[in-house]
Amino acid sequence: MSGRFLTACAVVGGSVAATLLYKEVIQGCRFDKIENLEGKVAVITGANTGIGKETAKEFAKRGAKVILACRDLERCKAARKEIFLAARMFGAKDPRTRKRKPAVVCELLDLASFDSIRAFVQRMEKEDRLDYLINNAGTMRDPTRVLTKDGLEKQMGVNHFGHFLLTNLLLAKLQKSSPSRIVVLSSTAHQRGDLDFSNLNWDHDYDPGNAYNASKLANLLFVQELANKLQGSAVTVNAVHPGLVYTDLFRHLPAADSVTRFILGPFMWMFFKSPRAGAQTTMYVALSEDLEGVSGKYFSNCTETAPADKALDRQLAQRLWTVSEKWTRLNS
């Protein structure tokens, strides 16, 4: 072999190794602690795809009963098979769990419909307990203003108002099962978010990015105020930023068209986390013993992180809570 060929092979090999190492580094933290969650119940919204599906796998592997709360039951059933199989294969590795049959259930939940949310909560009455509520579902950057069934701008309606109503209606069961934990997925996009209460429903000047950013800020304000209201209880609520993960949330971005995705695919693979990696901070916040009693915090890469100052504005959080109670008809 010529020296040039060997040099070329070395360069290519080194480049591949460096790429794989970089890819491994950007995947971030791993929460590998495996504890037995048999007898525990977890509800995960948007669990049929992306981070939600991977989160469901992690809970199912640990023996929890996992309720996949999804708006598309056919997609949910397909995801359920995958989650069930992943948990079964994982359990087969250990003689103590080899015969354990994963409990994974699909339930209809459309966060764009208050009626659907209330119906879901009513069906949850058959469950004896609820230990973990993972508010994972979301929508991102709808190119045109879309309304929920209740007339709310969809991004704020699903990402904030829907989860606000769901969480409040499930609080009694969470408190009955305490200690229990609520995890709310937010994003660094909250730093660019602003809440204009005179145009909270984006009746004019709709901008997809600004509407999404506002909904992520609302997530953090919700966590702050709910944590304050839950003081003295054994129910905690925290927010997480999963990192840059390429999921179905990106379907409305220009880069999501097939041609562009084909061209940019290798770069997205390189710079984005996998959905499984994106689920690790959620699992850390949901299960880590280090966070017992910790509430109202924001985590990124399995580490507590300071959010933007506006996300800690108590008056803003209280005002949003009052509006949310009214718009969701929480007390009616």
* Active-site annotation, residues: 212
Distance CA(223)–CA(324), nearest Å, equals 13
93 sits in which H/E element: none
Count of CB atoms situated within 10 Å of the CB of 252: 15
Cross-sheet strand order for the sheet of 132-135: 104-108, 65-70, 41-45, 132-135, 180-185, 235-241, 298-300, 303-304
Tokens 């953090």 found at? 220
Distance CA(90)–CA(92), nearest Å, equals 5
Question: Distance of alpha carbon 6 from its chain centroid, rounded?
Answer: 47
**What's the half-sphere exposure (Cβ side, CA atoms, 13 Å) at 135?**
31
